[in-house]
Amino acid sequence: MIDPHQMVFNAIRSVPDWPKPGITFRDITPVLQDPRTFRVLLDIFVYRYMRERLDLIAGIDARGFIVGSVLAYELKLGFVPVRKKGKLPFQTLAEEYSLEYGNASVEMHTDAVRPGQRVLLVDDLIATGGTMLAAAKLLQRLGANVVEAAAIIDLPELGGSKLLRENGASVFTVCE
Ligand code: PRP
Ligand code: HPA
């Protein structure tokens, strides 16, 4: 029987020179498209967190919404979005992070979590770790306890998972 992590790894599509020359984009859409691979992926997360005391799943815009919301449903938890700037309608808190050129920011509703809640942070991929770290800081500013930062893919050569661990986060990824 094929290893579940290997099955997910095998389904990830590498697209050369996207979104710009020299970048190889790791595309998870084939993982989601195939029902068996999608289920295997979610089962990896479900088995990892089913015995963890969690209060909420926070998913990062946009691909973190897909995995995060299914996981929240399966674990019978609520889901809260971490969104790109200007997308959330109510009162927000923002955290900036740096991109290759300039800055970006992520936002959450100020009432998205209550102090002390145990939150799992979910995204598709960790590259430089800037997005995940900004999201973790936002959650911490709201008083949440970030139990782990989870993603499908880690790109270890970009140092993001290392950066997150250096900042005290626990990190789980399905494949590198
Ligand atoms: C991608 C990816 C992560 C982030 C990882 O999203 O889905 O959220 O980049 O990169 P980092 O570790 O260097 O921060 P992107 O910002 O491209 O936005 P998108 O979801 O709108 O495609
Ligand atoms: N895929 C998805 N998101 C990303 C990537 C990638 O290869 N690199 C940086 N963010």
Q: Which domains does the chain have, with CATH numbers?
A: 52-175 (3.40.50.2020)
- Provide the ipTM: 0.97
Element (H, E) at 172: strand 171-175
Note the pLDDT tens digit of each residue in 118-160.
999 999 999 999 999 999 999 999 999 999 999 999 999 999 9
Compute the mean pLDDT over every residue in the chain, rounded to the nearest whole number. 97
Q: Which ligand 1 atom minimizes the distance to the CA of 127?
A: 12
Tokens of 39: 């289920």
Q: Name the band, by pLDDT with cuts 50, 70 and 90, for residue 99.
A: confident
- Whole-number percent of the chain with pLDDT over 70: 100
Tell me how far the alpha carbon of residue 125 lies from the centroid of ligand 1, in angstroms. 7
Atom 2, ligand 1: which residue's CA is nearest?
A: 125
Atom 1, ligand 2: which residue's CA is nearest?
A: 26
| Ligand 2 contacts CB of residue 56 (under 6 A) | no
| Cα angle for residues 115, 119, 122 (degrees, 5° grid) | 145
Length of the chain: 176
Ligand 1 pocket mutation, candidates 63, 152, 153, 163, criterion most atoms within 8 A of CB: 63
Q: Do 11 and 34 touch, CB atoms closer than 8 A?
A: yes
H helix runs in 76-169, sequence order:
130-141, 160-166
pLDDT beyond 90 at 167: yes
pLDDT beyond 90 at 17: yes
